[in-house]
A = this chain, B = another copy of it.
């Protein structure tokens, strides 16, 4: 007997895609290592290779300076016995991340990697390149690894996307009992990059993956969609604009101005 398969996805990640350096053509890389791409596939790309290909490399030996220059706003800070304080900051992409997303692993010694300058635009370019080379309509998502309040361990977040619905909106939709859904907007772009990460892994040198089976999330040619920018929630709706320690300190200062 075979399973009752209502919905099925396939997720795969190619091995040994080779070294990425400044100027590597990522569109070429994708179609070379994923020759079977089809309409509706979603290509998931680790931000690190986008940064490398775009030359977002600093030879700065001072990672702390790099974090400072990537920071728009300090959200929380904690001292560490064995090094500089951990800073959780909002960066220029609106992402709240430890160390502003500045990375010092998997790069040549004495260099650090910044996030892509405009990951939504990077995704648009990769999507167009795949379309041009193979004539297929894919979605592209770029991911980075981040921590979360209240949860141990790191997961992936979508920091750039093109041709993809980043948020699936069920508002007004009804559940199987005809009642309006309480869960209303799903961050499918984030779900996709986490699915992809299970195939990429952290050690295997597999920075590309494909998710096949959710072609409903891929937009028509000519529509790159709202991008991963739309996944950023800051300002009024942000109940955690400061860390607790910072906010308590701020409250104290308000009450006793000197």
Q: Encode contact with B along A73-97: 1 for CB under 8 Å, 0 otherwise.
A: 0001010000000001010000110
| Nearest B residue (CB) for A201 | B7
CB atoms of B12 and A7 under 8 A apart? yes
A73 nearest CB across to chain B (Å)? 11
* A interface list, Cβ under 8 A from B: 1-16, 33-36, 76, 78, 88, 90, 95-96, 103-109, 145, 148-157, 166-168, 170, 173, 175-177, 179-188, 190-192, 194-195, 197-206, 210-211, 213-214, 230-234, 238-256
Q: Given A149-B240, A244-B247, are A4 and B14 neighbors across the interface (CB < 8 Å)? A: yes
Nearest neighbor of A12 in chain B, beta-carbon distance: B8
CB distance from A106 to the nearest CB of B (A): 4
Are A239 and B245 in touch, CB under 8 angstroms? yes
25 A-B contact pairs sorted by A residue (CB < 8 Å)? A4-B16, A6-B206, A7-B199, A7-B204, A8-B13, A9-B10, A11-B195, A104-B182, A105-B180, A105-B183, A150-B232, A151-B157, A151-B233, A152-B185, A152-B231, A153-B168, A153-B185, A154-B187, A173-B202, A173-B203, A191-B198, A239-B243, A241-B244, A242-B248, A251-B254
Select which of B13, B95, B247 is within 8 A of A7 by beta carbon: B13
Q: Looking at the complex, which one of B107, B152, B187, B230 makes contact with A230 (CB distance below 8 Å)?
A: B152
For A249, the chain B residues whose CB sits under 8 A away are 251
Protomer copies: 2
Contacts A13-B6, A16-B4, A76-B240; A198 near B195 (Cβ below 8 A): yes
Contact A150 B238 (CB under 8 A): yes
Q: Which of A10, A36, A194, A204 has the most CB of B within 10 A?
A: A194
> Chain B residues near A109 (CB, 8 Å)?
179
Asked if A247 and B242 make an inter-chain contact with CB atoms under 8 angstroms apart, the answer reads: yes
